[in-house]
Structures are given as structure tokens and as C-alpha cells.
A and B are shown apart, each in its own frame.
Chain A
């Protein structure tokens, strides 16, 4: 395709040559023509064999919503009408700045007075084996779309590598075209550069509901196939069949031409505020440039750049100052918007609104009374408004309380105070959507004596389900009662208006499966929780979904993450398990060796009849465990909210007072219950007679042997508030003692709040309640026991053995070592 409307030899105007017939190159020419249509003679070189089109609309073309003709920006007529020569389908391969000429692959040469480089970006192809197989493509131009459409016609499986904007749009299009699509994403969250964890989770759910398979945290090892692509293999060994692989892992500014020509190139072609490169006769614009250290991958900055560029070309320079960008995902039916900086940080305040029933998540980040970022999911109507406030750096302190409800609400005149807004509602106005409760009903329920949030929830159910109307109910309480409002239930933490019990009940009732899901459905007010609620949620999910829930390591306290106790100097102490407090020469020798080998400064006999090795360095932990494992010892969980120790006395085996084999029972109890995660630490003891040398009556579960059987005691505690146990009951044999113990532990695991020991739990619910559940309800007891044993079938993996074998090894080692003045290793 070639237009040469004017004879070059007779045209004496300055010659502007443009490399790149894409979005920025053509827009720059448009801007120039708008300012001065005759000043330059223009020639455009394009590698693609077609006219200028809107690249961002390739996604709708792939999805079948548009065709190529619909997305052409400038057709052949435009080039002709404006006297522009277009040389398409023949890429420029060299720039000679001495002679001011460019040369194409086909051998065409043109000399220039001004050269504009607008070569865009190259897709990044991850360097894995098989990347060059036929059927492996990028998503950048119309040819790629044609390849995808041809593959889709044949049907079958497609894999998209990369869960960013581009990858998800490709996956969406291919799904609509009938392919079975798997998205492989390296990071735990989709579109992590644009979305936070909460929004990423919603997006993943929505895409899965449309039939896509989304694998996050998945790393591609190789692409396999003989002569053409047949599948993708992940580093964990998973094999996914595919007849088409789309790589959408990122783009790199296309700078090769500029670099070869000796222009200053960093991440992109370096330009000043007027888009001039290190050579005054050469300009550059679009994704290929680096301005003020920034490179861009979206169109909005191009428009700003092209304006400044054209202003400079007609000698009325204005200057480009960088761009703030926003993103929308173009997947029909899924609304996602993100802008600015949402990483939080100092002085940043998050305003979060979640509406589970509508699938909405909105988060606006405010700093120094200015919006600095926004992430919207499900309802993006106000994206433009937030983005505008952000770009203009407007002071939003006046709007603060209503900001998150959006433009319509915040701009709603005098009702700038939420309480006034609530007061203005009619009695018929619905307050609680989940339970269909009106303002009138809430007010009358308050008038009848429900003087706290809890009481309102208990009587008319308002705000008792998803909790999103909690603020409204609180305002109604304040309006109706003034100062007489009783403080509500103790919430789990400042991230939620729910208490522990409510959260737990909802997790089970709604079958929730992950921390982000709980936060979304229960309207958490922070994006990713805090150090109080994250460990609690992790535990509740773990307890509710044994064998299914994948533990979130980053939601555990350090001791549980590293399986050792952090000490105040940052070293760790290590306690191997000694069943029932028994040990033997092999174990003792191994412990002695570890103490010497790793220079542990102290070993102590603990109150729980174990040996504690102090002063182990974090990076030595895996080696220490390996040595202890080799001698047959496993983790003592002395660091965990878990079963700690079973303390025993010597019992009938040795002691003249012993009535039963207390040591043997202790060992059995420990074998049954080790490794289980609990709301808090849990200690057991077994004494062989009422002399109670193992101090069983200050343990969470204590057994005191008597001639006629076993007395079972619960809810004892040493520590600051010493509490003697309550007698639960007496049983006749060892098996019953074990069964009751299992049932009791499970009741505690399922019903106590996170970080609540058995003593305060029993004080709270009453020992009679525990008796009713464990003694009176035989079937219930049996079910509890069964649930405990089922859950134990997944939890008795020695965490030390896994890590000694290399699991998470890297988290024990420093990332790098720096030796000042010397080498850096």
C-alpha cells in the first residue's frame, strides 16, 4: 500500500518522516495537521500492512463485538486527502543520522528533516523452552487476532500466560469464541498492578463463573509439542493441554532502531518535555519513549504527548509533564476500574465500601485530604469522578464521609452529615436489604428496648447478615436514643463491625473458602485486614475446612510461620516433641549434638517436661530440624496455637501410689492430638493418682487417675490468672478418656474465639454447657470426636520434616549479603 500524492522532488517543504503507523504516530500527525496543515511534507512508515487502527479495540474484535473496519481510525482517504505518503508492510531497519535518511527492509530510503519514532512496544516473550513453536503468539496486532480466530475456529484448549489486562481480554475473547481457556498467572492476584487483593479475588470469581480456569501463583516451566504447540507445563509439574498459547506477560518499549542509531535510550527512548530525543532532529512519542524516568503502556498519555510534540513542531512549545493513568478492563459485564496509587502507606487512609449482594467493592485512598488512588469493582460509575478529583488534586475533606457513596450522594447538597441523611429518610426506607427491614421497623424495635446494635440485630435482624448497613443502624440508635446507646458487641477488630462469633457463624453458614471472600462478604472496611483479624480468619477457615483450606502463611504470627519461638534478641528457641515427657539416649544425644553444633547458649527443662534449645539463628533452623528429625523427633509445636505438651507422671508403672498407667495414656493422648491447630495453646496432663504430680488440674484438659477409672478435668490454667479445672466427668477406661478428650478439643476448636484459652471460654459459656454437649449428648460427642479425628488426618504432618527437606527454604535465608567495601554476594 503506497500513496505518493505529491512529487517529492518539487516539494520544498521540510520533510517529516514518521516510523510507526500506530496510535501515537498517527495521532501526532493529526495534531500537527490541526495546527498547521501545510508546514511539513509527511511520510509514514508502518511495519503492519494496513492503515492506522485503534489497537485497544483489538479486544472487542477478538470477542466478536466489532470487526476490523469498525476500528480503523484513519482510512486510505485520510492519507490521500492530507498528502501523506504511507509505506505500509515494510519496516524501517536503519536510521542514518549523519545523512538524515531511513532505510526499510525492502530497500526504500527516505531522507528527513525531522524524524519521529513511534514504534510502540514489543510483547515480552518469556524465555521458556518451546516459546518458538507454531501456535505460540502474543496479543499485539491484527495478525495476532487473525491467528487466534483461526485457532478458535478449530476449537479446543487455549492457555493464556499472564493475568493482566491484556491476558484477561484475550482469555475473554477466546472463551466467547468457544475455546476452553486456562489463564496462568504468576502472582497470587489477577491484575495485581491495577487491582488490590480484594478486587482481584472478585474478578477471579467472576471469570471462573464464566467457565475460565484461573491458576494464580502458577509458574510456566515449558511449552511442549512436536512441530506445534500441544500444551504448557508448570513448574509444579501440572500439564495443561493447549492448541494455542497466548503470551501476555508484558511489553517492552521497542527501542532497537533508536539504540542502533546511537540515540540515548534507557528503558525507552529518552525524550525531553517536547518529545525531542538526544538528537534535536529526532523526536519520539508513544509507548517507545521514556519521559522523566517513566514509560507508559496506555493510550491516555499518548494524547498528552502528541499535543506537546505538535506544539513543539510548530514552534509554540508547551511541554509534556507526565501523566496520571487509570485503567478499565474491557470485558463485557465485568466492571473494573483502577487509578493512581493504591499501595497504601504512610498517612494514607482507606475508605472501603463493600456490598456483597451486588458484588461491589470500592476503595478510595485519601492522603492529606486528596484522593491518591481508587480501585472499583462491580460499580465503576464513579471512576471518572474519582479520577478527576485525583488529577486535579482537589481537597476532599468536606466530602470525606460521603465520598465512597459516589458523586450523586456526595454532591447531594445540605445532607453532608450521615446522621442528617439518615434522619431525612422516610419510615418506609429500607435500611437492611438482606433482611428487608425498614427504618420504621428499626426505630420501633429500638423504642421497644433494643438499645444496642447487638439487641437490634437480635430482634429485628437489621444489619445481622452482611453488616453493610451497620453504620445506618448505629445512626438510627444515636438519633433515637441520644446518649443512651449501649456500646455494641465487641468487634473482632477495627476492620469489621462483626464480633468473632458472627464471623464464624457466617463462614460456616455461607460456606466461605478464603480470607478475601470473608472480607468481601462481610464488608471488611480495610483492603487486607490487620494483624488481629488475619490470623483469626485463617484459623476459622482452617477449622471449618479441614483438608481443603490452604493455610495463608502471611496471616500467621512469626512463630507459627517459622515453627519456632522468636526470642527477644531475634534468635529462635527449638523444642522437639517428647511424647508424654519420655525420652531416650538417641534423642538426648541428638539434642546434645545440636546444642554443640549450632552453639546454642542454653538448654532448659520446661514446665511442660520438654527440653528447650535456645539461641538458634533463623537460617540454621532447617539444619537443626533435619538433625532432630534424623533422631526420630518431630516439632513440639511449642510455638503454636496448638496442642503444646502432654505432661505425665510416672504412674502405676513405677510409683507406689499409681492407680493407672498415666504415662502410657499421656503418650496416647499426645499421639492423637499433636499437630492440631487451636484457638490458642492447649495443654494436657495425666496424673497417676490424686496426688496429681503432673498438675493436671491447671491444664486445659487434665486426667487424674483413680482406682475406679479416670477423672476428666477441663478449663484449668496456670499463668497470671490461675484457674483450677472444673470436673467434667469420670470415665471407666482409657478409650473413653481418649474419646472425651477428642470431643472436648473439637468443641473448643469450633466454638471458642481465636486467642481465647479454655479457661475464659468455659467461664463465658459455663461448664454446664460443655457438659451438655459432651456428656448428655452422646451422638453429639461422637460427631465431635469424629470431626476431630478427620481434621487430624490432615494435620499430623511434621512441619519440620517438610522444611528440613527444603520447603520454604528460601524464607530462612537472607535474600542477599552485603559486605561494605568488598564484594556483594
Chain B
């Protein structure tokens, strides 16, 4: 199920609440797909702006994820590091359609490259 602009990656329910799953991009970094306590879904490059920790492995709270390596907090909506830390992870637009998660193809390629 691939449309020109959006990649259908699966059901929303496949992502644990306050957790995440990844999408492998051949030849590039993974994309991490998060689902918050309120059920919002976000996609970011699975790479912390600090020292490339796997954000998909962090603890999700509110609208942020805490990186598993050194606990930087990264905004899921913008990819920006929160608080005192400075840095940004590329984000990938997401839309939900009939329970399916779609991520933007162009941004996925750009982020993962």
C-alpha cells in the first residue's frame, strides 16, 4: 500500500501507547514512530541530536521522549531538544487515515539519507 506521497506503515494499534516502533529505511537511518498517552502519533529520525542515541528506545512522556543514552528530552512535534540542551532531530509528517499510520515519503527519504 504505497501511494506517491505517503507511506502506509501499519495500524496505529501496533504502536504501544507511550511507546514507539521503528521503520527501517534501506540505506539510511531508521524512522522512529511514537504514540503518546493521548494517542497522538509522531515520526522522527531515530537519532538523538546529542550523540545519536536511539530515541525509539526512550521513555515517552507528555509530548516528548527522553533519550535512553543521556536523558536529553526531545520534542516529538518539532524534534527540538527541550530545556537547556540545543539540537534538533528531523521530523517526518504523519497522518492517520482509518486507523492506518501514513508517513510522508519525501521527508522519510530526506531524513534517513
Contacts and interface: CB of A to CB of B under 8 A. Distances in A.
Contact of B59 (A346, A554, A818): A554
Contacts of B61: 526, 528-531, 534
Among A188, A345, A559, A561, max chain B CB count under 10 A is at A345
Interface residues of A, number: 49
Given A346-B77, A553-B16, A814-B30, A189 B37 contact: yes
A85 to B, nearest CB: 38
A186 interface: yes
A553 B59 CA distance: 10
A343 B63 contact: yes
Contacts of B25: 817-818, 820
Nearest to A495: B61
Interface residues of B, number: 55
Nearest to B51: A568
B22 A528 contact: no
B63 A196 contact: no
B78 A346 contact: yes
A566 interface: yes
B30 to A, nearest CB: 7
Looking at A188, A189, A527, A811, which has the most chain B CB atoms within 10 Å of its CB? A811
B63 A344 contact: yes
Contacts, number: 141
A816 B57 contact: no
A553 B19 CA distance: 9
Interface string A545-566: 0000000011111110110001
A348 B13 contact: no
A124 B76 CA distance: 31
B84 to A, nearest CB: 13
* B54, B58, B62, B76: residue with the most chain A Cβ atoms closer than 10 Å: B62
Nearest to A200: B37
B20 to A, nearest CB: 9
A530 B66 contact: yes
Nearest to B25: A818
Given A816-B9, A817-B24, A820-B109, A196 B59 contact: no
A344 B62 CA distance: 6
A79 B28 CA distance: 66
A615 to B, nearest CB: 14
Contacts of A569: 52
Contact of B38 (A344, A530, A816, A819): A344
A345 B76 contact: yes
Contacts of B39: 187, 192-193, 343
Interface in A143-201: 186-189, 192-193, 196-197
Interface string A794-825: 00000000000000001100111111101110
Contacts of A534: 59, 61
Contacts of A568: 51-53, 69
A535 interface: yes
Contacts of A139: none
B30 A527 contact: no
Contacts of B60: 554
A558 B58 contact: yes
B108 interface: yes
A342 interface: yes
Contacts of B54: 558, 566, 570
Contacts of B16: 553-554, 811
A29 to B, nearest CB: 32
A711 interface: no
A365 to B, nearest CB: 10
Contacts of B38: 192, 196-197, 342-344
Contacts of B23: 814-818
Contacts of A267: 97-98
Given A343-B38, A350-B62, A554-B18, A186 B26 contact: no
Interface string B27-61: 11011010011111000000000011110011111
A566 B37 contact: no
A810 B10 CA distance: 12
Nearest to B41: A343
A493 to B, nearest CB: 11
Contacts of B58: 531, 558
Contacts of A193: 39
B77 A345 contact: yes
Contacts of B10: 815-816
The 9 A-B pairs of least Cβ separation, nearest first, read A345-B63, A344-B63, A531-B66, A558-B57, A554-B18, A815-B21, A343-B40, A345-B77, A816-B9
